[in-house]
């Protein structure tokens, strides 16, 4: 788990349009079998509707300083209430992401603005990863990771 990875969560909408939002961080659930991604309800209405409808998600984690990128997919996603006990995870993600991207010239105020949130607006999307792919730019981008179906 890398707290300063940039997190995106997406769903294939009715017309096969990808709908996504910035995620805040991740947590493990169900003994490490499931992954939880924190998103803003107000900004993610279409995404959350698609997830509720289909249960399908594509989740991308990228480390901006290296462009190392991993994509996980799931077919059993659920939208759950945010647990306030997870707030330190979200706050650490924002803090660590600021430290990750500001050396590249992105102003801290911009990062903090992009990742501002109200606790009562957060929800947790929980799913079981069923496929994993390398999405790091290069010749192996899109290749399934060994050991995943």
Q: In what order do the strands lie in the sheet with 18-23?
A: 18-23, 6-12, 57-63, 68-74, 131-134
Check residue 115 and give its pLDDT: 85
Closest C-alpha to 24, from 96, 126, 94, 128: 94
Total residues found in the chain within this entry? 149
Check residue 23 and give its pLDDT: 66
Does residue 52 sit in helix, strand or coil?
A: helix
Count CB atoms within 10 A of the CB of residue 116: 9
| CA–CA gap between residue 28 and residue 32 (Å, rounded) | 5
| Single pTM value for the model | 0.85
Residues of the chain with pLDDT under 70: 1-6, 9, 11-27, 29, 149
Q: What DSSP string describes 86-129?
A: GHHHHHHHHHHHHHHHGGGT--HHHHHHHT---GGGEEEEEE--
Check residue 16 and give its pLDDT: 42
Average pLDDT of the chain, as a whole number: 83
């Amino acid at each position: 788990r890398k707290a300063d990875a940039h997190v995106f969560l997406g769903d294939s909408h009715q017309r096969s349009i990808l709908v996504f939002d910035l995620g805040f961080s991740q947590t493990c659930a169900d003994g490490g079998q499931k992954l939880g991604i924190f998103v803003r309800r107000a900004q993610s209405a279409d995404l959350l509707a698609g997830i509720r409808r289909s249960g399908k998600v594509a989740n991308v984690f990228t480390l901006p300083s290296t462009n190392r990128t991993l994509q996980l997919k799931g077919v059993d996603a659920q939208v759950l209430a945010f647990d306030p006990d997870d707030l330190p995870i979200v706050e650490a993600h924002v803090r660590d992401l600021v430290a990750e991207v500001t050396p590249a010239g992105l102003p801290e105020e911009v990062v903090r603005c992009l990742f501002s949130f109200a606790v009562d607006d957060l929800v947790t999307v929980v799913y079981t990863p069923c496929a994993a792919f390398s999405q790091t730019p290069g010749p192996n981008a899109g290749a399934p990771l060994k050991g995943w179906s």
